[in-house]
Structure 1
Amino acid sequence: MAAENLPSEFDVVILGTGLAESIVAAACSRVGQRVLHVDRRSYYAGNWASFTFNSLLTWIQEYNNASHIEETAHDWSSLIEEGEETICLSSTDSAISNLQVFCYASQEEEAEEEEATKTAGASNTTEEESGGGSGCTTETTDAPTGNAQELSDVDAPTGNAQELSDVDAPTGNAQELSESPEKLTTETPEQVVETEQEGPKGSQSIPSPSESQSEPVRKKITYAQLLKEGRRFNIDLVSKLMYSRGPLVDLLIKSNVSRYAEFKNLTRILTYRDGRVEQVPCSRADVFASKQLSVVEKRMLMKFLTFCLDYQDQPQEYQAFAERPFSEFLHTQKLTDNLRHFLHHSIAMVKEDTPTEEGLASTRHFLRCLGRYGNTPFLFPLYGLGEIPQCFCRMSAVFGGIYCLRHSIQGLVIDKDNKCKAVIDSRGLRISCSHFVMEDGYVGEGQKTRATPTRSISRVVLITDGSVLPSESEQQVSLVSIPPVEPGGPVARLVELCSSTQTCIPGTYLVHLTCQSVGSAYQDLSPVVTRLFQTPESQDQEGRPSVLWCMYFNMADSSAVEGASYDLPSNVHVCSGPDASLGHQHPIALAESIFQKILPDEEFCPPAPNPEDIIYDGDNTSSTGGLEEEAERQGEGEREEQKEGEGEREEQKEGEGEREEQKEGEEGREPQEKDGEEEREQETVESRANSVWFPHWDLGMDPMLTPTVLEQRTALPTILLGNHRGMMGEKGCPR
């Protein structure tokens, strides 16, 4: 909505479109509150956003420019009444720091490879014409046909953010981030053809030069190609996964917001140990199929995992270690070093000093999430995590919420009772409200009463040309746990996304590395990058995937800051940004607590009706003419019923004669009817026996699933949560 046409009064005004703010907006709109939701940025989700590659370059440029903006004074005397005061909000965002960008993909390689391909094609043509060829045809992979001359004016970055800020790129907007999955999926090209060709078993012959020339060559990804296909990337500022039995999945299903998104399974869980990446067996099937574990280790692991599922019923087993580290408790369980590593870093995913009871609870939660939507406990939304806040914004918009991007709130109006009575927006308009919710980045220094913790998250985003653990399938979504490189260092978490998640182009992988900050992001994570990938700083890393482009940055983690740390009125609520945990427990709990403070007697995010179930005002007949037509229809129905009654009486007379005839043949038909009833009962029993009840499959499917149907449905490439009778773009569900 245009800012000049905004109403002057709302129940709730929300500043910032992060995950917690968006959930509060959806919950308030759902129960009938008038909600105004604004953001000074030009895109949704704030620090939870997902960017295309081109939009990310623009975001980097805006970040560099914003660092030079100074706070300006405002004169709001004409908007203030007697006895009122104002509080100025911050106009700069300091959540991101230490941003560094490096590009290792070359622009010149594309022209060289095209020239080499032409040369190889010419030699093959000459050979075939002379009759000396072997009859093999040259195969080429499908690749974008970019014009090298056209892209030659774009300077490839040489390793810092200042140089990248000069690259012109289109400004990201909400339309880019919320395009329909159906539309974008159809544009996905075929995967790059594999280059290795296996000969017959036992054959050791060396291919001739002509045969080697005819093999398909896999082209390297260049920086020019990244720019050209940049819209097909969706790069998250935050790296998280969704526990299949976590609060976010439960909220998506309960509120029916899940209809706006699709999800993919995390396909494997990996760990980095002794200089190599290994797959971690998690489920019972993985444990018994694993070739890394001996038979004895498999029994040990299954016994311990079974104990963790019911550890609360056996307190005597761990009570002595309740306050001691989980790692010490694992040493007492007669587990091998291999199993302790898997359990500590990849299943429980806890720190070295985590108490035993917390470690057991984490292990139990991990195991309970297995099997709900696949063989791993995690889900990932297609098109990136930035889709989740947008889903809740869509729900808020459906129920009357008003949205304004590139629009901000600059000040609060406080009355004599120390309540926020109104807000002043960036256009100098006064808007009355009962409650105000804002992102913590807008809180000025003058409103912070306590010294807030300086905790932050170290992040690096990589675009690579291969997986950290190659497999037969290129469509792997992986989680890798990486122990500290040095004793006492941070534990790093790596999430690797393939092109089927709609976050990168085929032939590349999008890698997110995250850890708790000790120094800058580059200091914390560059040693991990050089160990796992090929970079100019790497040594003896042949066979590792190459880094094409990467971005290091630190993000503030204010999840530990309490509301009492701010000197603000009681009807002003502050939402913290992303935290360092893997799941979404904190933002969901924060959003629910804020909603309960605003509306303590209302249900939090009740289920929304399906679009086809909504009855619009134009569908009801409330006029006098409509009532007369209704009466006429009722009169016609009564006359039809009278005619039917006369026909029924005639049928009764005919039926008396038929009953006399039926008595004569009853004696012969009774045995046959009994046999028929027994057969039908047997068929009913067999059909029920062949149907299986799967209470944990909450995918919008029918509850009674035959094994065949279940097998077909679980083979789907994406997962739909909840009752999906409506999808994005249908009536009542705006994109």
Structure 2
Amino acid sequence: MNDNPPYPPIDPTTFDLIVIGTGLPESILSAAASAASKSVLHLDPNPFYGSHFSSLPLSDLTSFLTFHSTSPSSSSDGQLHDFTVLDFATRPLYSSVDISNFAPQLLHQHSRKFNIDVAGPRVLFCADHAIDLMLKSGASQYMEFKSIDATFVGDGNGNLWTVPDSRAAIFKDKTLGLMEKNQLMRFFKLVQGHLAGEEASKVSEEDLQTPFVDFLNKMGLPPKIKSFILYAIAMADYDQGDGGDLLKTKDGIDQLALYSASIARFQNAPGAMIYPVYGQGELSQAFCRRAAVKGCLYVLRMPVTSLLIDKESGSYKGVRLASGQDIFSKKLILDPSFTVPLLSGSSSPNPLQRKLPLFNFREDRRKVARGICITKSSLKPDISNILIVYPPRSLFPEQVTSIRLLQIGSNLAVCPAGMFVLYISTLCSSDDQGKKLLNAVMNTLLTIPASINSESNAAVQSETVEKGKPTVLWSALYIQELSLGQVDFICSTPMPDGDLNYNNVVDASVKLFQHMYPDEEFFPETVSSENSEDDGGVALET
């Protein structure tokens, strides 16, 4: 008896491009190919859009992380009359998944009201590549955003310092002395003059190639101001004082330019950063909608089981679906979850042996530690949507990476009224190191119920209760693998990176498209229809 669901037959059976997975890079690529008049079939074994960039209810998030933290075995490969059939396998992309529920009855009651990001924290700077792409492609008409209200820098004592990221913010900041304000104003004026091409403010080519921290030292900025600039505005990932992965002055100034250009770019968004209503999974859906308008065919809940390879040439021909149907295309894009086990032994045709090393995914040596917490009170009274940055060494001496925390409230439709979702992330080299960094932030800002802490932390716990810190209702800690996009006759897309914005993801998608279709324009200009601004939402209009 066939236990497979009644998968519908797909017609036609031949396409220019097949895309497997609806993560953000795959969705951008399917929309771009459709806009270039390519016939595209977009498949996803999941019943939702977004894959590793999705926003999910609590129960679905738990299932997703659990499924992708194991590696199901694949069935054996076979031979057809014309093809070699290679069965897909999925590789584990998450590890050390630790989910704790301290209010099961309350959260079960509201489970479907959550839209939890798998790859948080993540925001859009109002002048970054992702915004420009949404405007150019027309995907912006399917989305609404709201502003991140404030940015803070935190320390190990629970203090949160407002980041003075504009002239107005510098004047209002009561924690900065008059000398610090003047130094910061002079520095911002110098950078703005350099970007405007003013000869008197031009930064030398020699300085542009030196470490940004050295340039800040040369400008005579004090440690506190340097920390704000390096980690909360330039968004440096690593300690800029230990000679490791140092940010160049040119890159630091470019990031300052992006930050400055982002402030108040859109109506109802006074800050530099915005966040999608209903979560970041809406980005993938917006590009999928754009693709569908241009003729892309979508089939969710459709597992893809095998790759079809020509016996003689070793070249890609198509895929086999769980329904048993074979679908053919000129090109294929794979979600990073998928891999093809290498064949071994002399039975493999020589052309195939030359092609198969494609499927060795290029791994990034680093990992991303991600944490999600749900609370019933805000970290800052009367402010819902905030970003907090913990610079290296700010929590404990061995902390060599920045840690970022994004708190989102119910006005962004990601959780029930009166609750807040906190996303934490940091780069790490091991699971243990990543968990230590996440726990350091949680212990500093939150009251963690006893069952998650050891007895040795009881004193810390009682102290945090007295300080009125938000209590964790639910938490998920996990480590995510990093993989880089890869191109050839089969393309694989990258995993979500450790950045706060989407620029690298967008840039990788552009490069993949240009490799596949070097003679095609990446999204011809479109005129988007007007967006509604009800509810104080941010509509992306130039």
TM-score higher than 0.5 here? yes
1:532 — aligned with what? 445
The one-letter amino acid paired with 1:102 is S
| Change beyond 3 A, Cα 1:230–1:27 | same
2:500 — aligned with what? 582
Q: Which runs of 5+ in 2 are unaligned?
A: 1-5, 241-245, 343-356
The one-letter amino acid paired with 1:70 is S
Q: Which runs of 5+ in 1 are unaligned?
A: 106-222, 564-569, 612-698, 702-712, 724-735
**Given the alignment, which residue of 5, 8, 19 partners 2:13?**
8
Greater shift, 3-12 or 248-257, is seen at 3-12
SS in 2 for 1:392: helix
The answer to whether structure 1 residue 554 and structure 2 residue 479 are counterparts is yes
SS in 2 for 1:526: helix
2:106 — aligned with what? 225
Alpha carbon RMSD of aligned pairs, Å?
2.6
SS in 1 for 2:14: coil
1:523 — aligned with what? 436
**Given the alignment, which residue of 334, 339, 343 partners 1:443?**
339
SS in 2 for 1:310: helix
CA contact 2:114–2:416 (8 Å) conserved in 1: yes
CA contact 1:455–1:558 (8 Å) conserved in 2: no
SS in 1 for 2:407: strand
| Change beyond 3 A, Cα 1:62–1:573 | closer
More strand by share: 2
Equivalent residues in 2 for 1:212-291, closer than 5 Å: 223-239=104-120, 240-273=122-155, 275=157, 276-291=159-174
CA distance in structure 2 between the aligned counterparts of 1:608 and 1:408, rounded to whole angstroms: 34
Q: Deviations over 1:347-395 (max 9, x none)?
A: 1121313223322222222112112023321110000000110111112
SS in 2 for 1:252: helix
CA distance in structure 2 between the aligned counterparts of 1:86 and 1:2, rounded to whole angstroms: 20
| Change beyond 3 A, Cα 1:27–1:463 | same
SS in 2 for 1:481: strand
Q: Deviations over 1:568-596 (max 9, x none)?
A: xx321111111111111122122222222
Tell me how far 1:75 sits from its aligned partner. 3.6
2:386 — aligned with what? 478
SS in 1 for 2:15: coil
Q: What is the TM-score of this pair, normalised by structure 2?
A: 0.84
**Given the alignment, which residue of 306, 328, 339 partners 2:189?**
306
The one-letter amino acid paired with 1:375 is P
2:510 — aligned with what? 592
Tell me how far 1:554 sits from its aligned partner. 1.0
Greater shift, 518-527 or 287-296, is seen at 518-527
CA distance in structure 2 between the aligned counterparts of 1:501 and 1:43, rounded to whole angstroms: 20
SS in 2 for 1:10: strand
For these two proteins, the number of residue pairs brought into alignment is 490
Q: Deviations over 1:6-38 (max 9, x none)?
A: 321111111111111111111122232211111
CA distance in structure 1 between the aligned counterparts of 2:60 and 2:336, rounded to whole angstroms: 24
CA distance in structure 2 between the aligned counterparts of 1:412 and 1:278, rounded to whole angstroms: 53
1:544 — aligned with what? 469
Equivalent residues in 2 for 1:404-483, closer than 5 Å: 404-415=299-310, 416-446=312-342, 447=357, 448-449=359-360, 452-470=363-381, 473-474=382-383, 476-483=384-391
CA contact 1:2–1:404 (8 Å) conserved in 2: no
**Given the alignment, which residue of 499, 515, 530 partners 2:410?**
499
CA contact 1:3–1:404 (8 Å) conserved in 2: no
CA contact 1:97–1:554 (8 Å) conserved in 2: yes
SS in 2 for 1:4: coil
Equivalent residues in 2 for 1:197-208, closer than 5 Å: none
SS in 1 for 2:46: coil
2:92 — aligned with what? 94
CA distance in structure 2 between the aligned counterparts of 1:496 and 1:507, rounded to whole angstroms: 13
| Change beyond 3 A, Cα 1:255–1:320 | closer
Tell me how far 1:458 sits from its aligned partner. 0.4
| Change beyond 3 A, Cα 1:516–1:420 | same
CA distance in structure 1 between the aligned counterparts of 2:138 and 2:27, rounded to whole angstroms: 15
The one-letter amino acid paired with 1:478 is I
SS in 1 for 2:216: helix
The one-letter amino acid paired with 2:515 is K
CA contact 2:78–2:84 (8 Å) conserved in 1: no
CA contact 1:282–1:376 (8 Å) conserved in 2: no
CA contact 1:30–1:608 (8 Å) conserved in 2: no
**Given the alignment, which residue of 332, 345, 349 partners 2:218?**
332
Q: Work out which of the two has the higher radius of gyration on C-alpha atoms and give 1 or 2.
A: 1
Q: Deviations over 1:445-497 (max 9, x none)?
A: 53445873342210000001222222xx34x2111111233245221011110
The one-letter amino acid paired with 2:108 is L
CA contact 1:318–1:356 (8 Å) conserved in 2: no
| Change beyond 3 A, Cα 1:370–1:408 | same
CA distance in structure 2 between the aligned counterparts of 1:610 and 1:279, rounded to whole angstroms: 36
| Change beyond 3 A, Cα 1:68–1:458 | closer
Greater shift, 505-514 or 532-541, is seen at 532-541
| Change beyond 3 A, Cα 1:598–1:324 | closer
CA distance in structure 1 between the aligned counterparts of 2:193 and 2:17, rounded to whole angstroms: 44
Tell me how far 1:274 sits from its aligned partner. 5.7
1:386 — aligned with what? 281
2:75 — aligned with what? 72
| Change beyond 3 A, Cα 1:60–1:582 | closer
**Given the alignment, which residue of 343, 359, 363 partners 2:256?**
363
CA distance in structure 2 between the aligned counterparts of 1:450 and 1:403, rounded to whole angstroms: 26
Tell me how far 1:282 sits from its aligned partner. 1.3
SS in 1 for 2:416: coil
| Change beyond 3 A, Cα 1:590–1:450 | closer
The answer to whether structure 1 residue 604 and structure 2 residue 518 are counterparts is no
CA contact 2:71–2:92 (8 Å) conserved in 1: no
The one-letter amino acid paired with 1:572 is I
CA distance in structure 2 between the aligned counterparts of 1:596 and 1:324, rounded to whole angstroms: 32
| Change beyond 3 A, Cα 1:609–1:74 | farther
| Change beyond 3 A, Cα 1:224–1:588 | same
2:349 — aligned with what? none
2:537 — aligned with what? 718
CA contact 2:362–2:486 (8 Å) conserved in 1: no
CA contact 1:318–1:329 (8 Å) conserved in 2: no
The answer to whether structure 1 residue 398 and structure 2 residue 287 are counterparts is no
Tell me how far 1:248 sits from its aligned partner. 0.9
The one-letter amino acid paired with 2:94 is I
Q: Deviations over 1:644-665 (max 9, x none)?
A: xxxxxxxxxxxxxxxxxxxxxx
CA distance in structure 2 between the aligned counterparts of 1:461 and 1:273, rounded to whole angstroms: 20
CA distance in structure 1 between the aligned counterparts of 2:413 and 2:217, rounded to whole angstroms: 42
CA distance in structure 2 between the aligned counterparts of 1:328 and 1:249, rounded to whole angstroms: 32
Tell me how far 1:426 sits from its aligned partner. 2.1
The answer to whether structure 1 residue 296 and structure 2 residue 179 are counterparts is yes
